[in-house]
Amino acid sequence: MGTHMDAPSHFIKGSWRLHEIPMERFSGPAVVVDISARAERDADAEVTKGDLLAWEQAHGRIPDGAVVIMNSGWGRRFGPTDRSGYLGIPAARLKADPGDFSDMHHPGFGAEAARWLTEERDVAGVAVDTISVDPGASTTFAAHLAMLGKRVWVIENAANVDRLSPAGHTVFAVPYNVRDGSGAPVRAFAIRTDLLASGGGSVVVAQNASIIVLIGLVSALLS
Ligand SMILES: [Zn+2]
């Protein structure tokens, strides 16, 4: 259970399965929303509509085809050494029952923010540095339903999102092409948009472009 993509069909019957997502939806301008300061104090912190509007205030309207990324700081907790901290489950309870994932506490997208983002803007995907796009305490999975319901893919357990600037990177995120799949491991990376040039239909990366690899949380978290 490392960095993976949920296809819309993961929650929405009859919607896009992995092989049906158009290739052009696998890349887009990164919109990075930083809630790490709040999440440091509150494991139940959510990306709010206000956070998205504040991003627009600073950087302009969320572009069509964007990949909206939550930076909650949780990526730093990932790893076999701190499963408890990453999942927001007390260590003693995890030890008693390693399969008990009820009552988790980690950040995610609030319901109102998820609905606004997918109804009022046209984004390709959403990525989070936690195990779920819904906050751990959610029981309704409103963010999953809102996003996948609008054919917006979701990446969970994204790494290194704190190395991205709020705007100015382009994300590429391509899952295995699993026929009829509802989810798959994904390799995701980002490149500064000003170092990309397109010509003749191909994407050219400047030689000195530093590529930020977003994938990385691949250790067996749940095994
Ligand atoms: Zn999911």
Would you state the pLDDT for residue 96?
A: 87
CATH number at 60 reads 3.50.30.50
CA of 213 to the centre of ligand 1 (A): 20
CA of 71 to the centre of ligand 1 (A): 16
Domain that holds residue 148: 4-215
Q: Can you name the residues that pair with 6 across neighbouring β-strands?
A: 154, 183
CA of 212 to the centre of ligand 1 (A): 23
CA of 155 to the centre of ligand 1 (A): 7
Q: Domain total for the chain?
A: 1
Would you state the pLDDT for residue 144?
A: 96
Q: Are strands 183-192 and 169-175 parallel, antiparallel or unpaired?
A: antiparallel
The answer, yes or no, to whether residue 217 has pLDDT greater than 70, is: no
In a domain, 62, yes or no: yes
Check if the beta carbon of residue 107 is closer than 8 Å to that of residue 49: no
The rounded distance, in Å, linking the Cα atoms of 166 and 59 is: 8
pLDDT in tens, 40-56: 999 999 999 999 999 99
Q: What is the mean pLDDT of the chain?
A: 87
Check if the beta carbon of residue 3 is closer than 8 Å to that of residue 159: yes
In a domain, 204, yes or no: yes
The rounded distance, in Å, linking the Cα atoms of 133 and 111 is: 10
Would you state the pLDDT for residue 183?
A: 86
CA of 114 to the centre of ligand 1 (A): 13
In a domain, 38, yes or no: yes
Would you state the pLDDT for residue 214?
A: 63
Ion ligand 1 neighbours (CB, 5 A) are 6
The DSSP letter of residue 35 is: -
In a domain, 222, yes or no: no
CA of 143 to the centre of ligand 1 (A): 9
In a domain, 22, yes or no: yes
The answer, yes or no, to whether residue 203 has pLDDT greater than 70, is: no
CA of 129 to the centre of ligand 1 (A): 12
In a domain, 73, yes or no: yes
The vertex-119 CA angle with 116 and 124, nearest 5°, equals 100
pLDDT in tens, 117-174: 999 999 999 999 999 999 999 999 999 999 999 999 999 999 889 989 999 999 999 8
The rounded distance, in Å, linking the Cα atoms of 149 and 220 is: 29
Would you state the pLDDT for residue 125?
A: 97
pLDDT in tens, 48-79: 999 999 999 999 999 999 999 999 999 888 76
pLDDT in tens, 105-115: 999 999 999 99
Check if the beta carbon of residue 181 is closer than 8 Å to that of residue 17: yes
Local structure of 152: helix, strand or coil = coil
CA of 101 to the centre of ligand 1 (A): 14
CA of 204 to the centre of ligand 1 (A): 32
Would you state the pLDDT for residue 207?
A: 60
The rounded distance, in Å, linking the Cα atoms of 114 and 34 is: 16
Q: Which residue has the tokens 């506490």?
A: 105
Q: What is the largest CA-CA distance in the chain?
A: 58
CA of 38 to the centre of ligand 1 (A): 22
In a domain, 201, yes or no: yes
In a domain, 163, yes or no: yes
Q: Lowest mean pLDDT of 32-46, 85-99, 117-131, 207-221, name the range.
A: 207-221
